[in-house]
Structure 1
Amino acid sequence: MNHPLSQGVDPERWPALLESLSLQDPEEVRIPIWQYVWICKRHRWRILGFCAAAVILTVIISARLTPIFESTTTVDVDHESPPGVVGQDAARSVTNDAEQFLATQMKLVQSDGVLRPVDNRFQLRLREKQSAAESPRGEEAPVVLKRLRVTRPPNTYLMQISYRSDDPQLAADVSNAIAESYLEHGYDIRMRSSNSLATFMERQLDELRVKMERSSLALAGFERELTVINPEAKTNILESKLVQLNTEHTAAQAELLHQQAAWESVQGGSLEAALASPQGDALRKLVEHAQEVREHFADVAGYYGPNHPEYRRAKAQLDELEGDLEETRAGIARRVEVEYRESQRREEMAGEAAAQAKAEFDRMNARSFEYQAAKREAEADKTLYAELVRKIKEAGINAGFQNSAIRIADAARPALKPVSPNIPLNALLALLFSSLAAVSTAVISDLLDKTIKDPEQVARTLRTEVIGSLPLLKNVPGGRVLALPVASGNGTLQERDPGGFRESVRTLRNSILLGNLDQRYRSLLVTSAAPAEGKTTTAANLAAAYAEQGQRTLLIDGDLRRPSVHRSFKIPGVVGLANVLRGELHWRAAAIPVAGLPELHVLPAGAPSRHSADLIGRGLIEIIEEAAADFDLVIVDAPPLLGFAEPLQMATAVDGVLVVARAGRTTRKEVAAVLATLNRVRAKTVGLVLNEVHRELSDSYNYYDCYRSYYRTPESEPAENGLST
């Protein structure tokens, strides 16, 4: 028949299937911290073994190495010490960046100029066995000593020059020799610098001497041209003279204006102007006397007649006085004119003198600027020449000064104990790195492992319920048999519980019973993602556990392609479900009771068939419905779900589906695809059974140890064997 669910699930469709059902990708789930702890605990013996081997190997190798001794010379570096004894070099220098100064000195210690003399003396590169590739140009290559170490203790101005060698005396000698070479190299640098500076200054001194002589001759020429020794003093004299002449000229101009006004007034014949003139006093007296004479004449004329002698005498006196008055007025006018002309001449002369003085002052002032420039240049050349001579003398003195800015504070001594190999430190480092490597390898290998291992991981990554975990069985005699009580040859029950397996099956049974109290399961389908997951073993033992409890149970082997239930119970498997589906007989006739478990019946699969998908259909649904009426529980052992069509048909015919996964083998994506497929066909998933759980995969195995210890008897030691079908 062509059922709509007769198609298998292609693994390439798993991601799309998970996405369509809104299930979380199990690879994207975060792993909690305790999981890493459990990983380390699970691999603890491997980790401890690897670490122990690494430590032992490190100790053996370290013990076989040649002892290396280290000697250290301590050098005191005073970054504020003066570089010289005279001049500015005698002042203490202040370095703002002491760290940079000390770093420079440390690099200088490792320079070729310091190390080459020491290398030539002790042949250090030959002792260190440096290859030709490390020194490609022989003597031209800079000297680099691998065993040299230059350090600086924190918060100090000290440098420690350390050298390592298998000879303690050689290590001390080389360390001291490097320190002394460093001091000599610093002295040579200062000496070469001083000599170079002195040579340069001597060349500059010759040029400066010529320039100084030229500027001195120019200054002397200015002085001869100006006919003075100090043009500045002459300029000051001319300036004073010019001020005086300007003052006199201004006064002459004022006097001229005064005389001109007086002259113009006198020229008009005004008596008042004549009286206001400097000669007006004599005229004033004549005017006053003339007034008195006129008054006397008026009195005489009023008393006497014109012919009276007294009248004529008074008249003559008056005429004489008026003549004197007129003559005096004319004389005053002439004198005012003369004074005016003299004032005019004085003003002209004063103006000419001031103009001449101004011209001479301007000329002298202009030449004075040139003179001052020449004088300053000559004085600067003389000062620079004298300073350069002084610097040359100071450089010569300071060049021979070996300052104490760098000094050996503590010379190296031969070491009594080797610094390498440090066996305790090497062992500790080996333990540390081997632990990191082992733990990292364990964690990475576990992260790369995509299989499911324990119930906690399933609940965290797949978000589904693990209703049971079955431990790994080993060394069970007889191969693949039930780990539950079955009939022996004499009709008694054999009680075996290797590794707590029976108790785990009972726990699974109770989880199914108690997980759905409202509606009891009448039919269950047991399937897995792939073959060899342990589904048949789980179905057989679960059916036996139900039968032990007194429940009538029917176990149907639905794997028509690869039947195996009949081998677990050692019953015939020639006739079974395949014959029933073909209509050859009724299922009740094919069901076989299990010896020792009267409540358990097994319906084998019958002869294997490649056309099982065509047989599964309505017939199986009718068998399950009829069996559910006669039995308390019907358990169907189905083929793996991924890649086969019939498990999907069976899943729709039962009340619940039990998915079996093998710990450490089944991947998370396979289980997720199974759950998603069941969800797509609306089959009820009871839960997940994790099979073959052991201490290497899950911490839950400790519980099985508890079961085994609790039920162990002196007469019966548990035998263990792996059961996976």
Structure 2
Amino acid sequence: MPMSNEYSHESIDVRNYFRILRRRWIPATAVFGSVFVLTALATFLQKPVYEAEGKLLLKKQGGATIADLEIGGLGGLEALSSKSSPVQTEAEIIRSEPILRQTITALKLVDDEDQPLETKDFIEALTVFNVRDTDVLKVTYKSIDPKESADVVNRLMDDYLKNNIETNRAEAASARVFIEKQVPEVAAKLKNLDLSLRRFKETNGIIALEEEAKVSVEVEGNFYQEAAKMQSLLINARAKSRALRNKLGLTPQQGEDINALSQSTVVQQALADYQENERELAEALKVFQPTHPTVLDLKEKRIALKGVLGEQTSQIIETKQPQPLRNLQAGESRQSLTDALVEAEVERLGLEKQVLSLAQTQAENKRRQGIIPKLEQQLIALERDRIVAQTTYEELLKALQQITISENQNIGNVRVIAAALEPKEPVSPRKAFNLAVGFFLGGLLGLGTALLLEALDTSVKTVQEATGLFDYTVLGNIPLLKDAEKMTRKGLDRPTPDLVVRDSPRSSVSESYRMLQANLKFLSSDHHVQVFVVTSSIPKEGKSTVVANLALALGELGHRVLVIDADMRRPSQHQVWELPNALGLSNVLVEQKDWHEAIRPEDDQLDILTAGVTPPNPVPLIDSHHMAVLLEEFHQAYDYVLIDSPPLAVAADALLLGKMTDGVLLVTRPGLVDTGSAQSAKDALERAGQKVLGLVINGVIPENEPDSYYYYYAQDYYGENSGGKQSKAKKKKKKADVNAVERS
């Protein structure tokens, strides 16, 4: 189902808003006026409000602790997280309860009841915000007293500055106590690290470890060269020693012993005595017998001298083995060879010791090279710890000095860059602005009210909505009659429809009915519509008016037309035609009267069959066989039979009659019928299987239609009062006849 409110359609344009405002101008104007008047009253009755402002500059301050040195110092404005703002944090401190309470108390601020001003009321008049892209805070305060507004801002900034200084001092004192505790501990730690570093160097023989590593690498290369050289010399020495030993037949030890004995004067003297005794003994044996005392004495002396020689020899060469005499005294040649052997052995042994010493030194150098990285790592760790401790100690001393200065000074990290001055002009009310806002807001609310009422109004308002809702062929659009006559009957004020086709034949409305009859005539080329029912969704949609004027339009063409008022519950055709209703359709059906007696001729082409006396229950009469026979007779006697039936929302008469006729002509009126009733009527027709000939849209208001050019052109072309009217005498005569019949 299409939407019922034109302003919610996708194709809505500005003209739709104007049409809505035209329909709802009274509540929209009332809302607009109320808002504007209230705004004006509030503006002109409001007391002037003054606003004073001051500015604070927030800055960083020197460090108080080692951590503070890294993040900006004591009272610094660094954020604790990426989402927080230090300047906004200071703004919240200014708005805090203690500082606000100090200002309220100092200035003795009171409310309208002369009571101490509440903090929440103070905050409502106070504004603290950060000037964009700066470290400046702007502080403003509103008051009806300009002097008070300036005093409050200045006092509040002073209280904040004092609080800032006291806070910084408290932080400095706390930091000083902490640092004073840390200094001795760090000093002791530094001393222990110095001692550990000295012991480590002494234990591992470290002077300059880095230089030692470089030298060790250089020495390692020299070791290989020196070792090769020493090995070459050792091989030569061993070859020389071996050659001398082979020539002398002595071992190196024996050569050394002979050399030692040859060089010993004691041994040589003992050897000389022994040799002299041997010579004397040899001479004595030549002279004397072996048993001669002289020979015996010499033999005993020989033994004694041999023992002395042995003792002297053993003392020099430290051996108990007796040495051959040839080893005790060598010749000059043998002695030279022996000396050479000894020198060769000495050289060999010296070279072997040098090679061994060199190998040991090289091994020690390699071992040292292997532990140097570990020593370096340990030394670096110790030195790093010492550097950290030294740096910490120095920073602590520096921080202690700074914190002592900070604790004793009266400087915070905030200063006033603009004190508040007494304002000369009020900031509110801004009369022109308020009135403009009131005008705009009133217009907006007025438009909103109109749209809201339009949304709550479920009535069908335009031809377009009616067409989309019913989805039937539109056979005619009948403009609204502006000057309908009214008459009062039985205390009921009911509109009496104008017979515009008769009274104003050249009007645009009359032409609309003629277009309706033309569309109805050519509705179907294979089946002529002759007898049909005219009904509506709800009462007062103008179906009786449509029936009467459509009958006149058909009669103008020379057709025999019969109008039947089948709305026995609330008949109206006798009022339209100003006819008596004493005898009509109900009498024909109930009393079996001849229908010719009940017919009232209007002119040569048009006859009227009124409803007659209202029966208790019209449905049995409408749904009777007699009614069907009667309609068949009318079909034979007339060219067109128009049946005015009750609305679909009131009774089922139209559905019953529709089955007996050529179809149903549905009349609807925008602005009167609602979407629910219209949909119910459409559903009822579909459920009953009725043949709906088409839709007649009655009471069209051109101003409400988005495409209303036709109506304006038709009015300009035809003129609303161009046709002749029925004479007053004729009307009065008809009324007299009607009254006479009713009295009878």
- In structure 2, what is the Cα distance between the partners aligned to 1:684 and 1:90? 90
User: For each residue in 1:26-67, what CA deviation from the matched residue of structure 2 results, as whole angstroms up to 9, or x when unmatched?
Assistant: 669962413344212322343123212221122113322222
- In structure 1, what is the Cα distance between the partners aligned to 2:581 and 2:503? 25
Does 1:395 find its partner at 2:424? no
- In structure 1, what is the Cα distance between the partners aligned to 2:179 and 2:152? 40
Secondary structure at 2:615 match in 1: coil
Displacement, 1:162?
Answer: 0.8
Which structure has the larger Rg?
2
2:417 corresponds, among 409, 412, 423, to 409
Query: Which residue of the partner structure matches residue 515 of structure 2?
Result: 510
Query: Which residue of the partner structure matches residue 468 of structure 1?
Result: 477
- In structure 1, what is the Cα distance between the partners aligned to 2:114 and 2:168? 34
**Kept in 2: contact 1:660–1:691 (CA 8 A):** yes
Query: Which residue of the partner structure matches residue 320 of structure 1?
Result: none
Q: Tell me the amino acid that sits aligned with residue 102 of structure 2.
A: P
Secondary structure at 2:487 match in 1: coil
Query: Which residue of the partner structure matches residue 51 of structure 2?
Result: 70
Secondary structure at 2:664 match in 1: strand
- In structure 2, what is the Cα distance between the partners aligned to 1:233 and 1:658? 117
Secondary structure at 1:181 match in 2: helix
Query: Which residue of the partner structure matches residue 172 of structure 1?
Result: 150
Q: 1:643-722 residue pairs with structure 2 within 5 A?
A: 644-679=651-686, 683-692=690-699, 710-711=719-720
Query: Which residue of the partner structure matches residue 204 of structure 1?
Result: 182
Displacement, 1:542?
Answer: 3.1
- In structure 2, what is the Cα distance between the partners aligned to 1:353 and 1:515? 137
Query: Which residue of the partner structure matches residue 637 of structure 1?
Result: 644
Secondary structure at 1:478 match in 2: strand
Structure 1 residues 555 and 380, CA, compared in 2 at 3 Å: closer, same or farther? closer
**Kept in 1: contact 2:63–2:399 (CA 8 A):** no
Structure 1 residues 535 and 248, CA, compared in 2 at 3 Å: closer, same or farther? closer
- In structure 2, what is the Cα distance between the partners aligned to 1:482 and 1:550? 26
- In structure 1, what is the Cα distance between the partners aligned to 2:209 and 2:459? 109
User: For each residue in 1:105-137, what CA deviation from the matched residue of structure 2 results, as whole angstroms up to 9, or x when unmatched?
Assistant: 4334323454343222124475798999x77xx
**Kept in 2: contact 1:481–1:568 (CA 8 A):** no
- In structure 2, what is the Cα distance between the partners aligned to 1:27 and 1:105? 57
**Kept in 2: contact 1:553–1:599 (CA 8 A):** yes
Displacement, 1:101?
Answer: 4.3
Of stretches 670-679 and 692-701 in structure 1, the one that deviates more from structure 2 is 692-701
**Kept in 1: contact 2:165–2:412 (CA 8 A):** no
Query: Which residue of the partner structure matches residue 33 of structure 1?
Result: 12
Structure 1 residues 90 and 425, CA, compared in 2 at 3 Å: closer, same or farther? same
Displacement, 1:584?
Answer: 1.9
Does 1:54 find its partner at 2:35? yes
Query: Which residue of the partner structure matches residue 424 of structure 1?
Result: 432
User: For each residue in 1:270-301, what CA deviation from the matched residue of structure 2 results, as whole angstroms up to 9, or x when unmatched?
Assistant: 9xxxxxxxxxxxxxxxxxxxxxxxxxxxxxxx
User: For each residue in 1:484-525, what CA deviation from the matched residue of structure 2 results, as whole angstroms up to 9, or x when unmatched?
Assistant: 469xxxxxx99589xx9x753541332231454364643331
Aligned length in residues: 617
- In structure 1, what is the Cα distance between the partners aligned to 2:675 and 2:473? 14
- In structure 2, what is the Cα distance between the partners aligned to 1:94 and 1:328? 105
- In structure 2, what is the Cα distance between the partners aligned to 1:90 and 1:482? 94
What's the C-alpha RMSD, in Å, of the aligned pairs? 5.1
Displacement, 1:327?
Answer: 9.8
**Kept in 2: contact 1:58–1:427 (CA 8 A):** yes
Query: Which residue of the partner structure matches residue 456 of structure 2?
Result: 448
Structure 1 residues 248 and 120, CA, compared in 2 at 3 Å: closer, same or farther? same
Q: 1:370-381 residue pairs with structure 2 within 5 A?
A: 381=389
Q: Tell me the amino acid that sits aligned with residue 19 of structure 2.
A: W
User: For each residue in 1:373-420, what CA deviation from the matched residue of structure 2 results, as whole angstroms up to 9, or x when unmatched?
Assistant: 767655654453333212211333355567797443332222222222
2:138 corresponds, among 160, 178, 194, to 160
Structure 1 residues 121 and 57, CA, compared in 2 at 3 Å: closer, same or farther? same
Secondary structure at 1:75 match in 2: strand
Does 1:115 find its partner at 2:100? yes
- In structure 2, what is the Cα distance between the partners aligned to 1:645 and 1:237? 121
- In structure 1, what is the Cα distance between the partners aligned to 2:598 and 2:209? 147
Secondary structure at 1:640 match in 2: coil
Secondary structure at 2:395 match in 1: helix
Sequence identity, in percent?
23
Of stretches 119-128 and 227-236 in structure 1, the one that deviates more from structure 2 is 227-236
Q: Tell me the amino acid that sits aligned with residue 681 of structure 2.
A: V
Secondary structure at 2:656 match in 1: helix
**Kept in 1: contact 2:659–2:690 (CA 8 A):** yes
- In structure 2, what is the Cα distance between the partners aligned to 1:185 and 1:408? 14
- In structure 1, what is the Cα distance between the partners aligned to 2:77 and 2:616? 99
Q: Tell me the amino acid that sits aligned with residue 487 of structure 2.
A: G
Q: Tell me the amino acid that sits aligned with residue 688 of structure 1.
A: L
Structure 1 residues 245 and 697, CA, compared in 2 at 3 Å: closer, same or farther? closer
Displacement, 1:560?
Answer: 3.7
Query: Which residue of the partner structure matches residue 590 of structure 1?
Result: 598
Displacement, 1:636?
Answer: 0.6
Q: 1:451-600 residue pairs with structure 2 within 5 A?
A: 451-466=459-474, 467-471=476-480, 476-479=485-488, 480=494, 482-484=496-498, 495=503, 503-504=508-509, 506-514=511-519, 516-517=521-522, 519=525, 521-547=529-555, 551-582=559-590, 584-594=592-602, 597-600=603-606
Of stretches 249-258 and 573-582 in structure 1, the one that deviates more from structure 2 is 249-258
Q: 1:90-109 residue pairs with structure 2 within 5 A?
A: 100-109=85-94
Structure 1 residues 372 and 159, CA, compared in 2 at 3 Å: closer, same or farther? closer
Q: Tell me the amino acid that sits aligned with residue 205 of structure 1.
A: V
**Kept in 2: contact 1:483–1:541 (CA 8 A):** no
TM-score by length of 1: 0.70
Displacement, 1:651?
Answer: 1.7
**Kept in 1: contact 2:172–2:403 (CA 8 A):** yes
**Kept in 1: contact 2:565–2:585 (CA 8 A):** yes
Query: Which residue of the partner structure matches residue 163 of structure 2?
Result: 185
Q: Tell me the amino acid that sits aligned with residue 605 of structure 1.
A: A
- In structure 1, what is the Cα distance between the partners aligned to 2:549 and 2:601? 15
Of stretches 635-644 and 258-267 in structure 1, the one that deviates more from structure 2 is 258-267
Displacement, 1:535?
Answer: 2.3
- In structure 1, what is the Cα distance between the partners aligned to 2:636 and 2:96? 99
Displacement, 1:163?
Answer: 0.3
Of stretches 519-528 and 471-480 in structure 1, the one that deviates more from structure 2 is 471-480
Displacement, 1:94?
Answer: 11
- In structure 1, what is the Cα distance between the partners aligned to 2:83 and 2:568? 89
Structure 1 residues 588 and 108, CA, compared in 2 at 3 Å: closer, same or farther? same
Structure 1 residues 374 and 149, CA, compared in 2 at 3 Å: closer, same or farther? closer
Structure 1 residues 94 and 66, CA, compared in 2 at 3 Å: closer, same or farther? closer
- In structure 1, what is the Cα distance between the partners aligned to 2:620 and 2:391? 122
**Kept in 2: contact 1:82–1:403 (CA 8 A):** no
Q: Tell me the amino acid that sits aligned with residue 606 of structure 2.
A: L
Q: Tell me the amino acid that sits aligned with residue 469 of structure 1.
A: I
Q: Tell me the amino acid that sits aligned with residue 522 of structure 1.
A: Q
TM-score by length of 2: 0.68
- In structure 1, what is the Cα distance between the partners aligned to 2:181 and 2:495? 112
Of stretches 328-337 and 465-474 in structure 1, the one that deviates more from structure 2 is 328-337
- In structure 1, what is the Cα distance between the partners aligned to 2:111 and 2:498? 79
